[in-house]
Structure 1
Amino acid sequence: MARFRFLDHVILILGAALMISPVAIAFLTSTHEAVEIHRNGLMATWGDNFLDTYGTVLTKEGGFTGQITGMRMMLNSMILGIGFAVGKIVLSMLAAYAIVYFRFRMGTFFFWVIFTTLLLPLEVRIVPSYEVVQKLGLLNSYTGLIIPLLASATGTFYFRQFFKSVPDELLEAARIDGAGPFKFFIDILVPISKPMIAAIFIIMFVYGWNQYLWPMMMTTDEQYFTLVRGIKQILLVWVGAQIPDYNEAFALAILAMLPPVLVVVVFQRWFIKGLTESDK
């Protein structure tokens, strides 16, 4: 048994190294100068340009207007990620609560209608969504970036399954104590849903943070550019003898990875508990 356990650990370590190695190479490459990267390709050694590169991408104003910084793009990504996560959780919980506890006619039918929207990815509905946002005058705004995508079939499905596993005795006890629907939701369901909320928060935060196509369609003002779009903007620069700032692009890529990784690490225990626990 000890031999098989050792083999399991070796396989896990090799798998982790395989997953981490591209990130490590990207980080090491970002510490070199752009000319050196252009000439020699990816680097596996530490360079001398670490402080200059990361200081530049975070604080130097650039872009077409010369006013956007990496800190601003990181803030925009953070607003998008948190806005998506919080908004989707609130709407999903309310929708699942209505479907499970109000038990209105055709409630199951409406749930499956919501669930079938999973078959419609963002790319399929992005043009009509853009037209709606444009007619409402919400282009180049955080409202236009966040609100149109808040409805979540995934979140509604998970919260519905979670609420259905809550014992009916809790509902009966709340009724006996005189708790109405709102009080039952706030004082009982929300506290016991914390692991599920954490799990959905991670999923939706990463989804919002990594958005590229949607912000590109909804914004033309650089003040609303995200980190993911900033990376693409750097790599588009190729005029005459000018080469892209590869080191800055790699640095932005590393910065774009950090918040999702930190969120997953911080909420890891709740994430696993929320997706696996079914007994309340």
Structure 2
Amino acid sequence: MIEKRPLATLLSHLVLVLGVLVIVFPVWLTFVASTHTAEEIAQGRPMSIWPGSHLLDTYGLALFGGQTSAGSTVPPALPMMGISLVSALVIALGKIAISLLSAFAIVYFRFPLRGLVFWMIFVTLMLPVEVRIGPTYEVVSQLGMLNSYAGLTVPLIASATATFLFRQFFLTVPDELVEAARIDGAGPLRFFKDVLLPLSTTSIAALFVIQFIYGWNQYLWPLLVTTDEGMYPIVMGIKRLIAGEAYTEWNVVMATAMLAMLPPALVVIFMQKWFVKGLVDSEK
């Protein structure tokens, strides 16, 4: 029986409302700034917290590029968003595919030093990115993968975390399913495709959301492997807008930042049900 405690309920709702305000208010200010002109933002008095009248002009300039009223050149955000989208999809799908196959091999195949192989994969979680980024860049450079989609994505598609999560899930699959598949004449790949993949749907969805956001927000690695402005992802594009000109068009910067937030937000919104279910199922 659940006891009704009005004071506790009120307090919990106040905490939730405060948390929402802390998260939403900076986003709202970013949106408001994107609807004003750069002169209105740079003026001495505080900026209005209500939207201005330049929404379509600013977002059109941010998406397709062009010249501002101050004479600054704004690069188009649309191609950069396309690069980020391709990179995020390849990283997310690549991490899931490789992790599924590696976890399947570790759990269901018997080979020498199987446990050692798993722990070697798991230990890579203890290595910070800065330790691996130098040698990885050297390999990518020697292979001629700079300024390419392969250079942006291939070094990032291995995931020890996803391998560990899928391994733990596969260990909970009853042995009776393996025996039933073997009796029916199903080989390893048939068992993987017809049994394990359908059971892993929610876990795959949860990991896809996490890995897509991870790939979309990449900044340090693209900063190293891209010198051609035509291969800049959207996160680097925002930084380029801030540091590229002597006079910063803050309204365009804020509009580009809002555009950069849309794809990850849409992925979370449309896959929220699967994401939550995957997290809950993985805890059982």
TM-score by length of 2: 0.91
The answer to whether the aligner puts 1:85 opposite 2:92 as a matched pair is yes
* SS across alignment from 2:51: coil
The answer to whether the aligner puts 1:9 opposite 2:16 as a matched pair is no
* Alignment partner, residue 204 of structure 1: 211
The answer to whether the aligner puts 1:144 opposite 2:151 as a matched pair is yes
Displacement of 1:209 in angstroms is 0.1
**d(CA) in 2 for partners of 1:42 and 1:132?**
48
Specify whether residues 42 and 188 from structure 1 end up closer, same or farther in structure 2 by C-alpha distance, changes over 3 A only: farther
**d(CA) in 2 for partners of 1:199 and 1:71?**
27
Q: Deviations over 1:17-67 (max 9, x none)?
A: 2111111111111111112212246541211111111000101258xxx79
Count how many residue pairs are aligned between Structure 1 and Structure 2.
274
Task: Give the counterpart of 1:112 among 111, 119, 126.
Answer: 119
The answer to whether the aligner puts 1:26 opposite 2:30 as a matched pair is yes
**d(CA) in 1 for partners of 2:282 and 2:83?**
36
**d(CA) in 1 for partners of 2:113 and 2:63?**
52
The answer to whether the aligner puts 1:162 opposite 2:205 as a matched pair is no
In the TM superposition, structure 1's runs of 4+ consecutive aligned residues that sit over 3 Å from their partners are 40-43
Structure 1 stretches lacking a partner, 5+ long: none
The answer to whether the aligner puts 1:216 opposite 2:223 as a matched pair is yes
Specify whether residues 2 and 279 from structure 1 end up closer, same or farther in structure 2 by C-alpha distance, changes over 3 A only: closer
8 Å CA contact 2:62, 2:75 repeated in 1: no
Amino acid aligned to 1:250: M
**d(CA) in 1 for partners of 2:281 and 2:58?**
44
8 Å CA contact 1:165, 1:279 repeated in 2: no
Specify whether residues 279 and 78 from structure 1 end up closer, same or farther in structure 2 by C-alpha distance, changes over 3 A only: closer
| Alignment of structure 1 residues 19-58 onto 2, 5 Å | 19-40=23-44, 43-58=48-63
* SS across alignment from 2:134: helix
Displacement of 1:103 in angstroms is 3.2
**d(CA) in 2 for partners of 1:92 and 1:75?**
25
Displacement of 1:233 in angstroms is 0.5
8 Å CA contact 1:32, 1:50 repeated in 2: yes
Instruction: Using the TM superposition, name which of 180-189 and 43-52 deviates more.
Output: 43-52
Displacement of 1:220 in angstroms is 1.0
| Alignment of structure 1 residues 243-254 onto 2, 5 Å | 243-254=247-258
**d(CA) in 2 for partners of 1:175 and 1:18?**
55
Specify whether residues 67 and 220 from structure 1 end up closer, same or farther in structure 2 by C-alpha distance, changes over 3 A only: farther
8 Å CA contact 2:238, 2:253 repeated in 1: yes
8 Å CA contact 2:203, 2:282 repeated in 1: no
Structure 2 stretches lacking a partner, 5+ long: 68-72
TM-score by length of 1: 0.93
**d(CA) in 2 for partners of 1:61 and 1:263?**
29
Alignment root-mean-square deviation, CA: 1.8
8 Å CA contact 2:62, 2:74 repeated in 1: no
8 Å CA contact 1:145, 1:218 repeated in 2: yes
Specify whether residues 141 and 67 from structure 1 end up closer, same or farther in structure 2 by C-alpha distance, changes over 3 A only: farther
Displacement of 1:215 in angstroms is 0.7
